[in-house]
Structure 1
Amino acid sequence: MMFLLQFSNLFGAVYRQGNLSFSKDGNAVISPVGNRISVFDLKNNTSETLPVSTTKNITCVGLSPDGNLAIVVDEDGAALLVSLITRAVLHHFHFHKPVNSIRFSPDGRKFVVTKENVALMYYAPGKQREFNAFVLDKSYYGPYDETTCIDWTDDSKCFAVGSKDMSTWVFGAERWVNLIYYSLGGHKDVIVGCFFEKDSLDLYTVSQDGTLCVWESDTELDELTLKRNKAKPPGEGEEDEVEEERTEGQEGEVIRGKAGTPKEKEKTKNVRFKQRSKHFFNKEGDFNNLTAAAFHKPTHILVTGFASGIFHLHELPEFNLIHSLSISDQRIASVALNCSGDWIAFGCSGMGQLLVWEWQSESYVFKQQGHFNNMASLAYSPDGQYIVTGGDDGKVKVWNTNSGLCFVTFTEHTSSITNVTFTSSGFVIVTASLDGTVRAFDLHRYRNFRTFTSPRPAQFSSLAVDVSGELVSAGAQDSFEIFLWSMQTGRLLEVLGGHEGPVSCLCFSPVQSILASASWDRTVRLWDMMDSWQVKETLHLTSDGLSVTYRPDGQELAVATLNGEISFWDPHTASQTASVAGRHDLQTGRKETDKITAKQSAKGKSFTSLCYSADGESILAGGQSKFVCIYNVKEQMLMKKFEISCNLSFDAMEEFLDRRKMTEFGSLALVDEGAGDGEGVNISLPGVRRGDMSSRHFKPEIRVSSLRFSPTGRSWAATTTEGLLVYSLDGSMVFDPYDLDLDVTPASIRKQLRLQEWTSAIILAFRLNEKALKQEVLETVPHEQIPVVCGSLPDIYVEKLLGFVSACLEKSGHLQFYMTWAQSLLMLHGQKLKNRSGAILPTLQALQKSIQRHFDNLSKLCDFNMYNIKYAVALSKQRGVKRAAEEEEREDDEDEEEEASEDGLI
């Protein structure tokens, strides 16, 4: 089953850079997160990360008008054509230069890409499969500097391109006689956005210094006339601004614009623009760069975002201010409006924020923020429904594994979080931090109800809570001591000394009150909590201990050491039972600033995080590498190696140096980028592309800081430089037949159903082990027959059926039906299942997770509709009373009629 684990979702990061987009129906936001694409469904409050990744961070995304296709481009200009229906990559393409923006035409037939100072128009890929999905139609030259933005007219006849040279160019998508190109000036800074008015050539342009220019055209869109292809007299084409020839390859037709106005042909009047008005956003005179803009044509609303975190809503063309609000103190990197114009999406790359604002009700529809520094640790709740993460930003976030969204953030810590964990109840989170405190948070009231401190200030680097949830222990990295507190009273119970180096990891036994502590002093000590907190055993390691973890049944201990080994110990006899040499499996990359090879660098790497699978048969290991390894404990062999990222924007990804970055002075990363022998310049001079010389630029290094298996055994999560990655089993892909025979066929199973042999039908379905067939058989069994069928099942199929019921219950709408199955199985086979509690525990936790999720949803629904339910109950009672009165009155009438008839007969 471990081989079937696949990338499922990305938590912990919602936006990095690039442009935000809304889906066609306006109910979902498509956000680039590093080198992946996340889709946030605002109606159902869920998130999904597409199983598609580029080689570097994504800079721009273009969506087709029908919402079926997306073109994703990374920092180098490598593009992917992705189907948003099948989530598959349809085509690879490379633009060879960084792309600034990409936009489909409203009719979906073409799209324009801007790179450097050229705009390239391609034919959009059709529904049939082509060898080359991107066919170049025309190349448009005109701007002298890099192009920044694109906008199309509603009928796809023309498009406008903004540039860093402070000009905006209007180009014809077809060969119009009266519009080849037109250049608009009037700005004193970089053009941030250019927008056509609805069904018109009138144009709005917005620049970085906060200036809005309104341009009016003297020609309507339907007055554009198409150029006819006629044989030209020799020498006449030399005066034309359009290069008519088609060059070999994919050059296409080339249109070169000039600074002046195009010459008018005979009997044709070219399109002309005039500046109707000019408006300024920074009226107070404060210098605040305008960084993003979006315009909704039907409602004439312009949204502008600024470097200070402020955004404005204006109604055009009158420039009436509707709103002026601030979402943070960070630069707004991207703005998008949905199709109805009600929702506005904002992306802040500095904070990693993604917000969706409904401007009419002045409320947030969606508000998410990831850890804007590295994530240090994670923990699953006992039922697998929640994940808690702690980051270097000092924040503790709790994520819902079903929706992929964060629902609470705790900000009480003042320094980096080093470790987080859940108590066995699942409603208390305990965190350790470098600020010298260990805090306990309540998930019912969302508050910090306990704060544990040490007598002398200490930086806590490790944390563990015992099975009862009563003892909290934390290890210090500066005093080499372990501190024990009581959760009930909050008092310090004991300070355990004995380690001669920093305590790197703590772990309580899941079945006994024994604490295992790994330290840099090359020992693992087992402390008995029941016997005056004395050292029970000392395990001597071959190198510094980095991580220690117990097997779920408490009968084995795994320790990761600095020399790259994983050793397995018997905690009862203090003897080593096995070891795995994992250094060769780490396979680290070479940093840009490294002066040694990746092979030599790997000798100093090791696993820093370990975690057993839910059944205890496998162990998950990760560390200072892009790989996560799964080992079989019994066979001591590598089962699978996961590459968590292929993003070359991170450091230490490539094994060999890139020769293109080598100069005569060495690697470009090692060459000093200072300003000669002089001192650093604080204020950038005109023409200087680089900013403040004191600003810190670095490439984050790819690494895995923490790993955890889900208690349900169907997924595992890792905190990495990229975010919180979740890998899970794809249920639709699993086909694992059990005790298969020739007579086990779908036809024989359905025959048993027709004969109403429910038990044999279930056994045959589980032997074939096809999900759809098992569900069909189960849902055919009559409701009243469920206890009888459960009672006659062989023991070996009870666990399989319980696991299948827990998986179906998670997504099915037949709540009572599957709950009846679960209740009957547990009531009739409870004692047998109890004897195999270790093996059955992941299944029970998956069942608990499903039931808890449905309970939460139903309780919220009932709370929201409490008065409606009361009204419906009262109404039904009233109708019942009325119906009873009517029946009583009818009976009285019938009695009277009978008496009257009897009197008549007499």
Structure 2
Amino acid sequence: MKFAYKFSNLLGAFYRHGNLCFSKDGNSVISPVGNRISVFDLKNNKSETLPVSTTKNISCLGISPDGNLAILIDEDGAAILVSLVTRAVLHHHHFHSPVHSVSFSPDGRKFVITKENVALMYHAPGRNREFNAFALDKSYYGPFDETTCIDWTDDSKCFAVGSKDMTTWIFGAERWANLIYYSLGGHKDIIVGCFFEKDSLDMYTVSQEGTLCVWESDTELEGLRKGPKYSERKKTEEEKKKREEEESNEDDDIEDIVGEDGETRGDVIKGSADTPKQVEGIKNVRYSQRSKHYFNKEGDFNKLTSAAFHKKTRILVTGFASGAFHLHELPEFDLIHSLSISDQRISTIALNPTGDWIGFGCSGLGQLLVWEWQSESYVFKQQGHFNNMNSLAYSPDGQYLVTGGDDGKVKVWNTNSGLCFVTFTEHSSSVTNVAFNSSGFVVVSASLDGTVRAFDLHRYRNFRTMTSPRPAQFSSLALDSSGELVCAGSQDSFEIFLWSMQTGRLLEVLSGHEGPVSNLCFSPVQSVLASVSWDKTVRLWDMLDSWQTKETLRLTSDGLAVTYRPDGQELAVASLDGEITFWNPQTGGQTGSIAGRHDLQMGRKETEKITAKQSAKGKSFTCLCYSADGESILAGGQSKFVCIYNIKEHVLMKKFEISCNLSLDAMEEFLDRRKMTEFGSLSLVDEGTGDGDGVALSLPGVKRGDMSSRRFKPEIRVSSLCFSPTGRSWAAASTEGLLIYSLDTSLVFDPYDLDMDVTPASIRQQMKKKEWASAILLSFRLNEMPLIREVLEAVPYNQITVVCSSLPDVYVDKLLNFVASTLEKCNHLQFYLSWAQCLLTLHGQKLKNRSGAVLPTVQQLLKSIQRHSDDLSKLCDWNIYNIRYAAALSKQRGMKRTAAESLSDEEDEEEEEVAMDSGGSKLNSWIEKPKPLSASSILSRLSLRQEKG
């Protein structure tokens, strides 16, 4: 259970490649992130990455109409069927060639995939268990080039397929007598999107050069007629063959696909340039071009790259290579909006079921945006590091994560929602290291631009910038436990610079290393700084004694990483020879070492000439992190594996595979002989521009693109590791993004001191007798979380103190741990806070004596309390502002009403004066019929009388 960490979330990556999809209710957007998919809940502002993955990057995905199933297809055509309810893989299938698009029919019974120049229709998996969930129904041939897009009619009778040959083909999903296939032209470039109108066969087609064609059909959907059955059709064909032998080759529109085993695999419908022969008595479906429209273009490079259409509202959204997008209302082609989100090409567009929200994906920046076009506001706007992620750090309470990347940005993430809530862009070069101060409200970052910057998380600003006298590139960073001292190591001058956080002044320059300073770490209990360098030494600097070198530890190879144990009594160092050595910082003696080179298990790169076994000899761990209890250490480097070692026994406890994505380099251990040709490896061949916005021809005056290599496979590696202060999770900054692994306690059964008498029935019997302490002890011995929660919540509120005082010490730790984990997700705040208060008050001294073991639990409790405190304070502020607004509004309305009533009173007085002047008859008539007075006017008149009286 201690090392049962499971993948829980992926941060820092929101979109890579493929198409976006909205959920059935429209509140979530599903985005492919490498070889995984992430679900972003737009209502609750949360993200979740599913624990399923393909072998390579996902190229397209399709969601069933009921929102329960998803088909994920990677670059090679390998597909997996995933349940979005249980988050489990249901079926594997391989299409044996790259798939361009996939789409379910609106009734959910069929789905179509397009690959090469073929459209394949399959029976969608249903509720019945089947050996083969993907059963081929029909194959549709017609386009002469690769297919690009699919769209269905609302009743699932027909579907359309766009192609790179500039044509759009319409096929019948069933045997229609008057529509077998139909080809539409009219474009001069690749078809980007084809869309049916709602409950109609009318179509819109959009091509890459920025042309929209509106097609009108002469037949309604109800006008489609069923074609003859296969047996009848076969008899008719035989009769025609007998009658007209010379025309037998022309009527070969429909035939069967027969596999090598002789079994019928499905039907094939072949299209040709000729119009399908008309069935007697039935008129074929025909199309005519109603109109043609052109989008505004800013040059040849601004091609239309993606399109989406909402059938109910008739809104067409088109995205361009320049980052601009247009909203048009069809069929009139009225422009609603024309905006730009970035300078990168828009890769995909999706609309939610109601048509209010538009999702955009930009693969160049890894950007995912959801825009509400009616209010012209962003619902969701997230972007990860579009270069490597170099470093990460947890906040002291474990609520936040900060990361720094090669793009010069510092991002702060919320671990509960998985989203970035602030980005600092002040650095002008790569950020090499980041750290939180002890309070958790200041982030400090070091960069190759020669600055160390401090950012305030209250006001979200850069309030301190620290520099060196001579320009230096800072490769490492450390803060002391008080947060007063900031130090950074240089990789070019071999010096360590020390600043004051309060004033920003440079206090000292520590010299002594003879190579680049690779890592720094402050002792958590003493004012001692440990620095490791490429000169094969670790130096301990005393911050209290004139910043002199306290101790120098000699290594066998170049030092790469150094870290202190949480109690400050041990030092771990990773060196270039793949070893992790442990030192006693007080005595300066080595206490042990771990040879980890064989555990890295590095794969070979595609461009390497040597084997993976030889390549692994030159690899080493580049980042280390102690666990919260200090009993184990986490190590990672230039490998797809992260290792956890037991420090006392010096043995490997577990290896975590960060990724299984073969689209990354250095993943495969052996050379793929299928890629070898007489000219060398196919992986070294440049395949051209691909889907990017590069230049097709090197013409003079081009504004964008280059003529360099278009292929780039990032190498898998782990650049930074960090354990959460709560000990419940750890994070790894890798090529895939920011991966979070956490303990999944709900799936682990770990009984404690169990015997025959400990059963759920006996526990509930104790609850009936109101023996609360005994019931709690028995439930913890059985260790079933729902049962423990049931027992705790049954304890009366006034009995909590009595029960806590009678618990043994062993069960105090267990109960505190349970309260801390339950409080994070439970709504009974006051109840569980009372438990935590009683446990800490009554057993505080005993817990303090074993603080090392209890510290992760207390930090988790602090994290939960802090999160609830933030949520409640925001809610209270919102309610206060609402109440103030309502009070001000009612006061304003009351003032208006008073003014109106006083105006009416003045009119009454004027009428009274007129009546007195005109004579007694009018006065008497006015007195006989008095007008009703309001309450405010009565009070005002009474006050006037009192003043006069």
C-alpha contact 2:210 2:297 (8 A) present in aligned 1: no
- Equivalence map 1:319-330=2 (5 Å): 319-330=333-344
Cα 1:218–1:643 shift into 2, 3 Å: same
- Equivalence map 1:467-866=2 (5 Å): 467-670=481-684, 683=697, 693-866=707-880
CA distance in 1, matches of 2:735, 2:684: 23
C-alpha contact 1:139 1:251 (8 A) present in aligned 2: no
Secondary structure at 1:855's aligned position in 2?
helix
CA distance in 2, matches of 1:102, 1:355: 22
Aligned residue number for residue 364 of structure 2? 350
Cα 1:498–1:89 shift into 2, 3 Å: same
Cα 1:856–1:584 shift into 2, 3 Å: same
Correspondence for 1:334 among 341, 348, 356: 348
Correspondence for 1:461 among 475, 492, 504: 475
C-alpha contact 2:164 2:189 (8 A) present in aligned 1: yes
Cα 1:87–1:377 shift into 2, 3 Å: same
TM superposition shift of 1:860: 1.0
Cα 1:165–1:286 shift into 2, 3 Å: closer
Aligned residue number for residue 113 of structure 2? 113
CA distance in 1, matches of 2:858, 2:573: 28
Aligned residue number for residue 49 of structure 1? 49
Cα 1:278–1:614 shift into 2, 3 Å: same
C-alpha contact 1:217 1:273 (8 A) present in aligned 2: yes
TM superposition shift of 1:792: 1.4
Letter in 1 for 2:105: S
Letter in 1 for 2:557: S
C-alpha contact 2:301 2:321 (8 A) present in aligned 1: no
TM superposition shift of 1:664: 1.4
Note the alpha carbon deviations across 1:111-140, whole angstroms, 9 max, x for none.
Answer: 110000000001111111100000111111
CA distance in 1, matches of 2:403, 2:280: 71
Note the alpha carbon deviations across 1:711-740, whole angstroms, 9 max, x for none.
Answer: 000100000000000000112112212222
C-alpha contact 2:687 2:710 (8 A) present in aligned 1: no
Q: TM-score, normalised by structure 1?
A: 0.94
CA distance in 2, matches of 1:73, 1:44: 28
Aligned residue number for residue 186 of structure 1? 186
Letter in 1 for 2:256: E
1:244 aligns with 2:258: no
Secondary structure at 1:601's aligned position in 2?
helix
Secondary structure at 1:51's aligned position in 2?
coil
Aligned residue number for residue 221 of structure 1? 221
TM superposition shift of 1:674: 9.9
C-alpha contact 1:682 1:692 (8 A) present in aligned 2: no
Letter in 2 for 1:131: F
TM superposition shift of 1:241: 4.5
TM superposition shift of 1:694: 2.1
CA distance in 2, matches of 1:323, 1:870: 37
CA distance in 1, matches of 2:21, 2:800: 49
CA distance in 2, matches of 1:835, 1:37: 46
TM superposition shift of 1:871: 9.0
CA distance in 1, matches of 2:301, 2:561: 51
C-alpha contact 2:687 2:711 (8 A) present in aligned 1: no
Secondary structure at 1:763's aligned position in 2?
helix
C-alpha contact 1:674 1:693 (8 A) present in aligned 2: no
Cα 1:167–1:729 shift into 2, 3 Å: same
Aligned residue number for residue 899 of structure 1? none
Letter in 2 for 1:247: V
Aligned residue number for residue 159 of structure 2? 159
CA distance in 2, matches of 1:337, 1:737: 50
Aligned residue number for residue 899 of structure 2? none
CA distance in 2, matches of 1:665, 1:286: 36
Say what the alpha-carbon RMSD is for the aligned residues.
1.8
TM superposition shift of 1:697: 2.9
Secondary structure at 2:518's aligned position in 1?
strand
CA distance in 1, matches of 2:709, 2:679: 24
Return 5+ residue gaps in structure 2 as ranges: 242-247, 700-704, 890-949
C-alpha contact 1:241 1:262 (8 A) present in aligned 2: no
CA distance in 2, matches of 1:768, 1:582: 39
Note the alpha carbon deviations across 1:218-256, whole angstroms, 9 max, x for none.
Answer: 000001000122122524464335333341356411111
Note the alpha carbon deviations across 1:479-509, whole angstroms, 9 max, x for none.
Answer: 0000100001100000000001100000000
Letter in 2 for 1:300: R
CA distance in 2, matches of 1:427, 1:663: 57
Secondary structure at 1:750's aligned position in 2?
helix
Identity %: 80
1:89 aligns with 2:89: yes
Secondary structure at 1:748's aligned position in 2?
helix
Aligned residue number for residue 895 of structure 1? none
CA distance in 2, matches of 1:674, 1:120: 28
CA distance in 2, matches of 1:293, 1:664: 42
Secondary structure at 2:236's aligned position in 1?
coil
CA distance in 2, matches of 1:197, 1:724: 42
Letter in 1 for 2:873: S
Letter in 1 for 2:653: M
CA distance in 2, matches of 1:467, 1:392: 27
Aligned residue number for residue 945 of structure 2? none
Aligned residue number for residue 908 of structure 2? none
Letter in 1 for 2:645: Y
TM superposition shift of 1:681: 9.5
1:129 aligns with 2:129: yes
TM superposition shift of 1:19: 0.2
Cα 1:487–1:128 shift into 2, 3 Å: same
- Equivalence map 1:4-23=2 (5 Å): 4-23=4-23
Cα 1:874–1:192 shift into 2, 3 Å: closer
Letter in 1 for 2:853: A
Letter in 2 for 1:244: E
Secondary structure at 1:26's aligned position in 2?
coil
Letter in 2 for 1:242: D
TM superposition shift of 1:551: 0.5
Aligned residue number for residue 423 of structure 1? 437
Aligned residue number for residue 448 of structure 1? 462
C-alpha contact 2:688 2:710 (8 A) present in aligned 1: no
Letter in 1 for 2:7: F
C-alpha contact 2:686 2:709 (8 A) present in aligned 1: no
Note the alpha carbon deviations across 1:313-332, whole angstroms, 9 max, x for none.
Answer: 00000000000011111100
C-alpha contact 1:514 1:526 (8 A) present in aligned 2: yes
CA distance in 1, matches of 2:597, 2:258: 55
TM superposition shift of 1:745: 1.7
C-alpha contact 1:682 1:694 (8 A) present in aligned 2: no
Note the alpha carbon deviations across 1:432-455, whole angstroms, 9 max, x for none.
Answer: 000000011111111111111000
Secondary structure at 1:866's aligned position in 2?
helix
Secondary structure at 1:263's aligned position in 2?
coil
Letter in 1 for 2:251: D
CA distance in 1, matches of 2:854, 2:887: 41
Aligned pairs, how many? 866
Aligned residue number for residue 138 of structure 1? 138
CA distance in 1, matches of 2:409, 2:545: 37
CA distance in 2, matches of 1:788, 1:474: 53
| Further displaced range: 629-638 or 833-842 | 833-842
CA distance in 2, matches of 1:854, 1:674: 53
